[in-house]
Amino acid sequence: MADRRLKGKNIIITGASSGVGAEIARLCAQQGANLVLLARRIDKLIALKEELQHHFQVDVIACQLDVSNTTEIEEVFQEVFKQIDRVDVLVNNAGFGIFREAHEAEVKEIKEMFAVNVIGLLACTKMVLPKMIATRSGHIINIASQAGKMATPKSSVYAATKHAVLGYTNSLRMEMVRSNVYVTAVNPGPIATDFFTVADQSGTYVKNVGKYMLQPHDVAKKIVNSMLTQTREINLPRWMNIGSVFYTLFPQLVERLGKKAFFKK
């Protein structure tokens, strides 16, 4: 029997136009959830909305949103709130990275990564928290990264943004205990999405780790299964998370032994 835990729930997903975000939307719709799809590519959102409404009896709102623009975030969320009375789950999925060594990173790129991965995530969360606190229910799911636990060469800025996301998420989780709102961090390794068309323009990283990449559907399934449950973290794949734990305990040793592998980006 299908899991109907999410039936009738209102779920907002940023970065919903493709990859993990789109897969989350499909899985939620299968369970009868109503969806708010947010992303920059409105054409893809509309196509996904039509797909979901064709196959499932759910309400779907699609809105164009650039999460790097905090004014736009406020305006779009206020419009969404005119159409839904509560928010049950917010999935902060929007994000991007560019792999460069620190001295090569352009200030413009640095600002853009922090604007999307950190400030945008915080701003979207801030919009829904009052509603969740008022109803004493809800779930914030922040897509971070294994890079937020263990930084590697050529990902200094991206790792810094994901460290920030994890710090915010951990603090928010403790604050929200009083309001019965769940907060989950998702820390995936590399996923086979178009993320790497921007992050890894040389193709080197994908070539070296392609066979180890996670599939978007598998990651989305783990996330959807955690919705409205008290799940602290989702770490994928397990073997990579073991490396992150080992790094926390023995950072100098890991940096020395893993030096060659880390430079495969």
Q: What is the pLDDT of residue 242?
A: 80
Q: Give yes or no for residue 183 having a pLDDT over 70.
A: yes
Mean pLDDT to the nearest integer, 249-256: 76
pLDDT in tens, 193-234: 666 555 455 555 555 555 668 899 999 999 999 999 999 999
Cα–Cα distances in angstroms (integers) from residue 178 to residues 11, 101, 137, in the given order: 22, 42, 11
Neighbouring-strand partners of residue 64: 39
Tell me what pLDDT residue 1 has.
39
Does residue 265 carry a pLDDT above 70? Answer: no
Active-site residue list: 158
The DSSP secondary structure of 12-55, one letter per residue, reads EEESTTSHHHHHHHHHHHHTT-EEEEEES-HHHHHHHHHHHHHH
The one-letter amino acid code at 258 reads G
Measured in whole angstroms, how far is the alpha carbon of residue 260 from the centre of its chain? 29
Sheet strand arrangement including 233-236: 60-64, 34-39, 10-14, 89-92, 139-143, 182-188, 233-236
Q: Which amino acid is at 102?
A: A
Taking Cα atoms as reference points, which of 54, 5, 9 lies closest to residue 33? Answer: 9
The pLDDT value given to residue 263: 57
- The type of residue at 211 is K
If one compares 252 and 221, the residue with the highest pLDDT of the two is 221
What mean pLDDT is reported for the chain? Answer: 90
Q: Mind listing the domains of the chain with CATH numbers?
A: 10-262 (3.40.50.720)
Contact 140, 168 (CB under 8 A): no
Structure tokens at 46: 């509309």
Task: Look at residue 262 in the predicted model and tell me its pLDDT.
Answer: 59
What pLDDT, on the 0 to 100 scale, is given for residue 69? 98
C-alpha to C-alpha distance for 120 and 26, rounded to whole angstroms: 24
